[in-house]
Amino acid sequence: MSYRTRANMMMIGVNVFWGMSYVFMKMGLNSLGSFTIIALRCLIAFFIAGLFFHKPLRQITRKTILSSAILGFLLFSVFSFVTFGVSMTSASNAGFLVSLTVIFVPLLHCLLVKKLPSWPIGLGVITTLTGIGVLTLKHPFHMNAGDLLCIGTALCYAIHITLTGTFTKNENPIALGILQLGFAGLFALTCSFLFEHPSIPATLSSWIAILGLGVFCSAIGFICQAIAQHYTTPAHTGLIFATEPIFAALFAALFLHELFTLKELIGSVIVVAGILIAQLDNLLLKKRVHYQETLPK
C-alpha cells in the first residue's frame, strides 16, 4: 500500500471524527457560546497534542510559528463562519454550501500551479458535488447572509487545505498541526471575552461535547490532516472531505434520531463514486511512470 493511499485512508478516518462534530456541537451549544466552544475545543486539543507530541515542538522555527499562525487564523475563521452561518440559514443549504470546498480546493490548486486539473479530478469534483447536492439540498433554495457565511466557510476551508499542503512540504507537519490549534484557540478566546461571557461546561453533556470536539475532532483530526497532507495532494484531500456530510448524516441518525432517507442514501453513493473516480488519477499516474521506465534509454 502506497503512502498516498494510506494518507487518503487517514483522511477518511478524520472525516469520521468531523462527522461526529455536528452532534457534539449541538450538545455544546445548549449551554455555551459559540466562541467559547471554539476556544475550549482548540485549547484542549492544543495541550493534549502538545503533551503527546512535545518533541517536534522543541525544534520549531520562526517560519513554523508564522505558518501555524496563518493556519490557525483560517481554522478559527472556518469554525466561526460555519457556527454563525448555520444559525441564519437552513441546515440543508449550509451543508451544500460548506461542501463547496471540493470545488474551491482544485480551483485554488490550479491557480497555484497554473495548470488545469486532470480529467479524473475534474469529473470526480463534478460527480461529488452532484452527490452533495442530492444529499443535502432541499427545495426551495434561497441566498441570505447565512448562506454567504457558509460560502465563506468553504473558501476559508479550501485555503486552509491548500496552504496546509504547501506548508507541510517544508515544515514539520506535527508541529504545524499542534501550533495551529493553539493559535485558533487564542483567537477564539479573545473573541469570547470581547463578545460573550466565557465559562466552563456545567453539565455532563457539555463536558462530553467539549472533550469530544477537543480530543477526537481537533487534536486527532487536525494533526492527522497535517500528516496525511504531507503525502497526498490538496485536490484529493478536498474530495475526501466530501464524505463529511455522509458521516454527519449517519451520526445524526444514530444519536439525534434524524431520519436517513433514500434520497440521502443515493446522494452518499454518488459522493463515494466521485471520490473513486478521482482516485483514477493515481492509477493513470502510476501507468505513465511505469511506461516511462520501460522506454529504452
DSSP per-residue letters across 18-71: HHHHHHHHHHHTTTS-HHHHHHHHHHHHHHHHHHHSHHHHTT--HHHHHHHHHH
pTM of the shown model: 0.77
* 219 band by pLDDT with thresholds 50, 70 and 90: confident
* 99 vs 121: CA distance, rounded Å: 16
Amino acid 294: pLDDT? 59
Please indicate whether residue 97 or residue 185 has the higher confidence score (pLDDT). 185
Amino acid 133: pLDDT? 81
Residue burial 133-148, b: 16+ Cβ < 10 Å; e: rest = bbbbbeeeeeeeebbe
pLDDT at 287 over 90: no
Amino acid 210: pLDDT? 92
* 4 band by pLDDT with thresholds 50, 70 and 90: confident
8-32: average pLDDT: 83
253-276: average pLDDT: 79
Q: Please, is 229 exposed, middle or buried when counting C-beta atoms within 10 Å of its C-beta (0-12, 13-18, 19+)?
A: buried
* 112 vs 162: CA distance, rounded Å: 9
When the pLDDT of each residue in the chain is averaged and rounded to a whole number, the result is 82
pLDDT at 251 over 70: yes
19-35: average pLDDT: 82
* 66 band by pLDDT with thresholds 50, 70 and 90: very high
The mean-pLDDT minimum among 135-139, 153-157, 280-284 falls in: 280-284
Amino acid 142: pLDDT? 65
The residues, ordered by sequence, that sit 6+ positions from 210 with a Cβ below 8 Å of its Cβ are 24, 28, 32, 37, 40, 41, 44, 201
Positive or negative CA dihedral for 82, 99, 30, 217?
negative
* 53 vs 28: CA distance, rounded Å: 27
Residue 139: C-alpha distances to residues 13, 101, 266 (Å): 31, 22, 17
Cβ contact 271:132 at 8 Å: yes
93-116: average pLDDT: 77
